[in-house]
Structure 1
Amino acid sequence: MSGAGSPDPDEGGTYTLLVEVAAPAGIEVGALGERRFDAGAYAYTGSALGAGGFSRVDRHRRIARGDHDVRHWHVDHLLGHPAARIDRVVRSVGADVECAVADRLPAGPVDGFGASDCDCPSHLAGAEGDSLDAFAARIREAHVAAVGVLGGSDAPDGDVTGEGDAAESGARVDVVAGE
């Protein structure tokens, strides 16, 4: 348990959803209007800071499964489409690096997607021809670079621990199942 005033690193941080879209789709994305999504892989980066932490990812999973109908954010519209599924989630636990991660990924296919509260062009990236696994590795590398993790582990679950400031703060990067 963390002391008073310091956040529990397991409580939240930054996450990237690796979303696979099985077939081309026209999707109404809130105020952004209808957008076309080609079949392929996309990465949506968001924050899970404050009360509830990574429970926001659980909410995204419920939308992708069709168990929740409320659409608050741009990504809700994408995940609510039947052709979309969450393959896996890369998390920077205990780190507020949302924009730094989004900035390290390829340019987004939809300007302004998920970035209405910052100056980023988009928080949605496209795989640019990478396979799902190659894109997942690229996303993980963006998290590791953003957190500033220097050391690492080849643990099969993808957990990375670091040295220096990131390790001292309790920040880590991990990969968890999507749905």
Structure 2
Amino acid sequence: MAEMVETVDQAEPPTYQLLIQVAQPVTVTVGRLGPCSFPAGRYVYTGSARRNMAARLARHLSPHKLLHWHIDYLLTAPGVQVVGTRLFDEPECQINCNMPGEALIPGFGSTDCQAGCGSHLKYLGV
């Protein structure tokens, strides 16, 4: 029996960042993390897509989606919007670790993290 191997489209960068603006403080119940408080300000979320990056970004930017990932809960909160995106060729955790900012919500977006990032959402300040 042949072994099935999933390949990654190397033409697309595997890592993305969402630059997020939270207009006013908001508390959101984020899946199993429970209630999470987000102060007003700028945030950056680092994620990855093994394939079809355009569809992943379009999903994040859509106001209508099923809540699946931690970031979905934040992005559907009132007064929260994505104000920019960035793409990287380096691995998700490497980009996240090199990003300045404060990890306010332990475990946010990093439940499958193997690098010990603690959180893939960072608060950049007001």
Superposition TM-score, scaled by structure 1 size = 0.61
* Pair 1:59-2:55 in alignment: no
The structure whose Rg is larger is 1
Q: Which of the two has greater helix per residue?
A: 1
Gaps of 5+ in 1: 130-179
CA distance in 1, matches of 2:125, 2:53: 30
Query: Any runs of at least 4 consecutive aligned residues in structure 1 with deviations exceeding 4 A, and if so which?
Result: none
SS in 1 for 2:53: coil
Report how many residues are paired: 117
Gapped regions of structure 2 (runs ≥ 5): 1-6
1:16-57 per-residue CA deviation (whole Å, 9 max, x = no partner) reads 10000001101111110101111100100000222x223101
TM-score (norm 2): 0.85
Give the equivalent residue in structure 1 for 2:9: 7
* 1:12 CA drift (Å): 4.1
Which residue identity does 1:53 align to in structure 2?
Answer: M
The structure-2 alpha-carbon separation of the partners of 1:103 and 1:70, relative to structure 1 and needing over 3 Å to count, comes to: same
Considering Cα pairs closer than 8 Å and 6+ residues apart, tell me whether 1 or 2 has the greater RCO.
Answer: 2
Deviation at 1:69, TM superposition (A): 3.2
Q: After TM superposition, give the deviation of residue 107 of structure 1 in Å.
A: 3.0
Question: Larger strand proportion, structure 1 or 2?
Answer: 2
Q: CA RMSD in A?
A: 1.6
**Equivalent residue, structure 2, for 1:107:** 102
